[in-house]
Amino acid sequence: MSSHSNSRPNMPWSNGEVKTFLSLVAEERIQGELDGAARNEKIFLELAEAMATHGFTRSSKQCRDKLKKLKCEYRAVAVHNGRRGVDKRRWKWFPEMDAIYGKRPASSVRESVVDSAGPSPVSSCTSGNGQSLRELISERLAAAAADIFSEFEKTIARYEKEIDRQRRLLE
């Protein structure tokens, strides 16, 4: 097996490539190997070879990075959509990713793509601007708390105003 060194290093993945890749990743055997592998380079080499048989040239590293990014985005959307009172985020690949990872234990979603020698799964998951998922969630929680507190203050002010109005009516 080769790692396809002639792969397209900075070319974005087409919808067809992602769809094919996710169908390969969804296979029970692949999921089982990803779940059980401490070092999973062999699995990503196999995925790169399978992609090649479908006419897509990607290296094992590109396959690993793509799955990592897809999982990070999946987790971010799932966390966001799990909050009450927020508009649900839509993401093109959410249904496919949810079919693969939605019913799986959270630990296998985090760990199955990360090499045991690599950084922590959560801290290595970054947003587009380089923020870790943990920082992003913390920032969003702080913003949500500030919004809730602001709404709480407005509600109290409305109630106080209404109480004053009713007192004046009673006088």
Domain-embedded: residue 6: no
Domain-embedded: residue 38: yes
Whether residue 80 is found in the same domain as residue 147:
no
Domain-embedded: residue 155: yes
- Mean pLDDT throughout 6-24? 86
Q: Domain total for the chain? A: 2
d(CA 23, CA 14) in angstroms, rounded, equals 14
Boundary residue ending a domain (50, 82, 102): 102
Boundary residue ending a domain (83, 102, 121): 102
Whether residue 139 is found in the same domain as residue 79:
no
Domain-embedded: residue 165: yes
User: Helix-strand-coil percent breakdown of the chain, rounded to 5?
Assistant: 65, 0, 35
Domain-embedded: residue 154: yes
Boundary residue ending a domain (56, 85, 102): 102
Whether residue 45 is found in the same domain as residue 95:
yes
Domain-embedded: residue 121: no
Domain-embedded: residue 22: yes
Lowest-pLDDT choice from 55-69, 84-98, 116-130, 155-169: 116-130
d(CA 88, CA 86) in angstroms, rounded, equals 6
Global confidence as pTM = 0.60
**What single DSSP character describes residue 93?**
T
- Grouping H, G, I as helix, E, B as strand and the rest as coil, residue 161 is helix
**Domain region containing 30:** 15-102
Paired strand residues for 126: 132
Whether residue 22 is found in the same domain as residue 91:
yes
Q: How confident is the model at residue 1 (pLDDT cuts 50, 70, 90)?
A: very low
Is the pLDDT at 29 greater than 50? The verdict is yes
Is 113 or 37 the better-scoring residue by pLDDT? 37
Whether residue 98 is found in the same domain as residue 136:
no
d(CA 161, CA 68) in angstroms, rounded, equals 52
